[in-house]
Copies of this chain bind each other. A is one copy, B any other.
Amino acid sequence: MATPLHISISKKLRHQIESGVYTSGDRLPSEHQLMETYNVSRITARQAMANLVSQGLAIAYRGKGVFVTPQKKVTYSLSSPLVFLEQDMARQGVAFSFESLTFESICAPAEVAVALEISADTPVYLQRKLLRMDGAAGAVDVSYLIAELGQRFAPQLERQMTFPTLAQNGVPIEHVDAMVECTHADYDLSDHLEVPLGHALMVYRYTAYSCDRQPVLHGATISRADRFCYSLSMRAGE
């Protein structure tokens, strides 16, 4: 046979997932079961599972088993330029909750200083937020705000460093530049986001500008690619 065994096995499993034999969150056969069912070695059974995990169709948990990835994706609209975590996504059938991980005042790192058009030693507020979806970690947001602009209402920022909070305190956002790209989870990040190594991630980088075209806020939202997609609606006209 031309196609490798582990490919044909993972194809069969993939088909079973897509045809509803195994659905969202179901446990797939264990490696030992696959060995008996298809009469292959553990290496082959393991490789077949690795294919599914690599394709984002399944997640493996040591000691528990391999489970079908919850395939429902949450759509985030890029058309209304709000910072990611502020979106009202409750009506998409997933329970969201925010968690402020850290809030501190630091000197701007080089990359951030460039984006905010400030010198590298200017103080900025750094906030890390965690977005939970049905309890599980779904996205991490890291954002930097020029500290001078938020000094007067820092306690409020600590709770929620969002566009409305800024606007209410005299720092309205008029313009947002953003970029969407795809990366992969490395070993360090997998601790925070609870995703396996090599798992695909979407990165949403943004820089928000005030009315006078001065950059105010810069940050990135790193989300699980299997749980998020981005939508937009544009009018033609250059």
Contacts and interface: CB of A to CB of B under 8 A. Distances in A.
A179 B231 contact: yes
Given A78-B232, A174-B235, A174-B236, A181 B73 contact: yes
Contact of A234 (B176, B187, B238): B176
A178 B55 contact: no
Interface string A7-21: 100010010000000
A86 interface: no
Interface in A214-238: 225-226, 228-238
A175 interface: yes
- Give the number of times this chain occurs in the complex, counting copies: 2
A27 interface: no
A178 B236 contact: no
Interface stretch (A97-105, A116-124, A140-148, A196-204): A196-204
Contact of A230 (B174, B181, B229): B181
Contact of A178 (B234, B235, B238): B234
Interface of A: 3, 7, 11, 14, 51, 54-56, 73, 75, 78-81, 163, 172-187, 197-198, 200, 202, 225-226, 228-238
24 contacts: A7-B187, A54-B54, A54-B197, A55-B184, A55-B197, A56-B183, A56-B184, A79-B234, A175-B234, A176-B233, A176-B234, A177-B232, A177-B233, A178-B232, A178-B233, A178-B234, A179-B232, A180-B232, A181-B229, A182-B225, A182-B226, A182-B229, A200-B200, A232-B232
